[in-house]
Structure 1
């Protein structure tokens, strides 16, 4: 992987202490979560309280949610600093804890902090709406790692500062075995979720000349090798022999041939009840013969955000090892307007045998995903989730705030939305009425790849859903949420790695639920 993120080397440790002093810890900065009530009633450590009172009286720091304020510790040297983080007047949800932690991490980055400690209040759960130590630990860990992410730079002069190297959670007082276990599990999950999200961000941020289909295949093989997963990559000759006509058609206009990537995670003795994850892997999208506008085309490096997301999920599964079976399929291609490119008006035969009328070569994602869905079914998948930066239309409906979802199974979608509420990633369901299914029918083929602007996000998703062949399925359109124009919440400017955490959360909830 050519990308680089702070999560590759940040270490998260737990240290509990019974004394009240913090000076003996060899860290550059302390983080302290502050509520106005805690300052007023004097429940915070006296050292911090004496610093906070004048700040609040002078209105420099009001402990508003996510507000940060850094104060040097007298006589402690260049980096001995306390970073106060506002919690507001009420307990924070897990998502709010994530954001508070991310803001603290960003403040630490500006100060070029290397070693960081979060001094937890006793009781910490006074700040947590869920009143659950594991949930709080996971949220804080995720937020700190996600907030400390920095994309790879390609400048001639590179800073010697490599980011936050170590994080320690500190808390005074005696801690019971159950609480310690909850904290350890929360940190373990938080690391897996956040690091896997950062992996997806790294891949999505890579320039198109550094990530062609073969590079994406090698990145997947690297993840599989790290965890001992079964994996395979089909090249263009094998794709033609098998008849994956959709993937071949989209990729044939590029000098970089397409690839079909498969990674399997087997967490149960028998290969059954398999979950299929399918991610759109268009490593760069010009629109093909239906060429896109010049303005904004550089952001099409993110058109493989769905592939990055499902690969991030596989990385998380390798760390967490749940008792589930998952097969991941990525159809990888470049959509280029070369002399061999597919054209509007073409009829192509998909891997399923269905024919596709091509009306718009810039509606290529659904065409490659059609073949990938069929391939996932052949590998035993009985439930399917596809993730794709699929339509510009989803931005008209949901902006860059929420991921659009289309499904043929209300119960499965409801479970998934509950998982998204736990992860903090917003998902909004769109209807799949019969009239929308009818809109994708073609006069000359089995199905057409474009229905025009009306209902475009829904019909694009239903095109893919056709190839689920009636199996429970969810489509996630991340065209708005995979790549942001500016920093927001736990997400940086650029690639977000969206849906890694929600899909992982949903998969972990599937343990033991299969019939």
Structure 2
């Protein structure tokens, strides 16, 4: 897909289709009014006759509209003008792109980016338009012998800005949106692959390919390397699987050597049966998505590399399967983690925290500015927040606020849960330093409290994406979240770094 930015009057666009919006009830947006004037009230007459009300999610395709140079004009319903916010804007872009892709025209010029969205500038609107457009067109059909081909697929989209002075900001945002969408695509492609394709070894190979493509440094640790490091909790999860575990280290070096890195840690359970604590068979196929944290870290690093963010970023991915077997870890086993803390395994299905805790200890060697781990960690988070918000916990309020703000800016929202010491009581064990589960109550919080014990030497945040990383049922598939949230977080850090670099250094007194 090719994207471009343009400033110009809609009726003068030579395009396969020009897209304008209609508010409820039957009110043309400003670009629609311009076309209507050129067409001598042609659009207004259609709306007056009831051809379209302007309800959100609706569309009306018109051919050979008088006074225009485009082959078609697409009217997209926007809903009520007073209620037109981020969600409605994204829905309008989705409707427009989906309809354009079905028209048989190769290109479209979208004037929805000129619409006013409260507290959102042209950069936000264009960035979101690119992301939503590529999300709408995304298909995962690599494993189908017969693919559902679009007769004449959409190849080019042009987004309009009201003033020429907005072109530079819009073009910059377009590049950012494309990078984020490409990162999401990588995450989706990896997460949608079944477990017999996407093994720990395959994930490591994809990390190496990503490093080669974007000039990242990469290292892959094997079982022997992990044994030397004492990553016993990670290895305990791998004991029942025939697939060898891997520990992936990726580095984006966009700043000086003396600049502390941001470390992203992604849970990479490529298939989770629950181990000896076997999961129910219903919907177990969706456990191929248990490596979504790992996939999101790879996707975020790709986006950061494409944007050439002036940051040092480290991606850590502990990856293995969690399978039952003669050698599998048993409930009641006590394991010594890389940190030296001992863990009583009460439930082998609480395995994500076991591979993450060793990764969090490994992160100490980078002397990080901050660490953010990402994991489909608890079903309790789905119960608490559904499929709308990612669960967030942190040992540093400033870092938590950064991530929450990034989620709002990305429209990839998170909600903060407490990390109070009171919850640590649930993790007490009579036989080890800590148990790997804390009972039924507050499961998302106690899982984060477990991880917090291994992240005391730096600023740390945890994103539980169990409810947001993928959809189940008939519409099963990866959502690409939280790549937008993480990338906006990094973009914010990069913007701060640039501002600090521009500040004049104070002269020392002699």
TM-score normalized by structure 1?
Answer: 0.88
Q: Tell me, yes or no, if the aligned pair for 1:403 and 1:477 is still in contact at 8 Å.
A: yes
Matched residue of 1:43: which SS?
A: helix
Q: 1:384 is matched with which residue: 360, 371, 374?
A: 371
d(CA) in 1 for partners of 2:348, 2:137: 39
Is 1:436 matched with 2:423? yes
Distance change in 2, residues 1:326/1:48 (3 Å) = farther
TM-aligned CA deviation for residue 126 of structure 1:
4.4
Maintained 8 Å contact 1:276/1:377: no
Question: What is the deviation of 1:203?
Answer: 0.9
1:102 alignment partner, one of 91, 94, 100: 94
Q: Could you say what secondary structure the match of 1:395 adopts?
A: helix
Q: Specify whether residues 82 and 485 from structure 1 end up closer, same or farther in structure 2 by C-alpha distance, changes over 3 A only.
A: farther
What is the CA distance between 1:310 and its match in structure 2?
1.1
Count of residue pairs the alignment pairs up = 491
Q: Compute the TM-score of the two structures, normalised by the length of structure 2.
A: 0.89
Q: Does residue 490 of structure 2 align to residue 498 of structure 1?
A: no
What are the within-5 Å matches in structure 2 for residues 20-169 of structure 1?
Answer: 20-22=11-13, 24-25=14-15, 27=16, 29-35=17-23, 36-38=26-28, 43-46=33-36, 50=41, 52-73=43-64, 81-88=72-79, 89-90=81-82, 92-109=84-101, 111=102, 113=104, 115-120=106-111, 125-130=114-119, 132-161=121-150, 164-169=153-158
Partner of 1:369: 356
2:381 is aligned with 1:394: yes
Change (3 A) 1:449 1:43: same
C-alpha distance in 2 between matches for 1:210 and 1:390 = 22
Q: CA deviation at 1:351?
A: 1.4
Contact 1:244 1:371 in 2 (8 A): yes
Provide structure 1 residue ranges, at least 5 long, that are not aligned to the other structure. Answer: 1-9
What residue in structure 1 maps to residue 182 of structure 2?
195
Residue 270 (structure 2) pairs with residue 280 (structure 1): no
Change in CA separation of 1:135 and 1:74 when aligned onto 2, cut-off 3 Å: closer
Higher relative CO (Cα under 8 Å, sequence separation at least 6) belongs to 1
Instruction: Please name the residue that 1:6 is paired with.
Output: none
Q: Aligned-pair distance for 1:374?
A: 1.2
- Give the alignment of 1:319-398 within 5 angstroms: 319-398=306-385
What is the RMSD computed on CA atoms of the aligned residues? 2.7
SS in 1 for 2:324: coil
Looking at structure 2, the residues matched to 451 and 19 of structure 1 have their Cα atoms a distance apart, in angstroms, of: 60
- Distance (whole Å) between structure 2 residues aligned to residue 170 and residue 453 of structure 1: 50
Cα separation, partners in 2 of 1:19 and 1:508, compared to 1, 3 Å: closer
Contact 1:94 1:130 (8 Å CA) reproduced = no
Counterpart contact for 2:378–2:443, Cα < 8 Å: yes
Partners of 2:19 and 2:459 in 1: CA distance: 45
Aligned partners of 2:491, 2:96: CA distance in 1, in Å?
Answer: 29
Greater Cα offset, 381-390 or 291-300: 381-390
1:484 Cα deviation after fit: 1.2
CA contact (8 A) 1:39 1:53 kept: no
In structure 1, what is the Cα distance between the partners aligned to 2:131 and 2:417?
29
More deviation in 30-39 or 264-273? 30-39
CA pair 287-493 structure 1, distance change in 2 beyond 3 A: closer
Q: Does 1:235 align with 2:226?
A: no
Aligned to 1:306, the other structure's residue is in SS state helix
1:265 corresponds to 2:265: no
C-alpha offsets along residues 411-449 of structure 1, whole Å, 9 cap, x if unaligned? 211121111111111211111111112322322111111
| Secondary structure in structure 2 of the residue aligned to 1:107 | helix
Unaligned runs of 5+ in 2: 501-510
Does structure 2 conserve the Cα–Cα contact (< 8 Å) formed by 1:212 and 1:283? Answer: yes
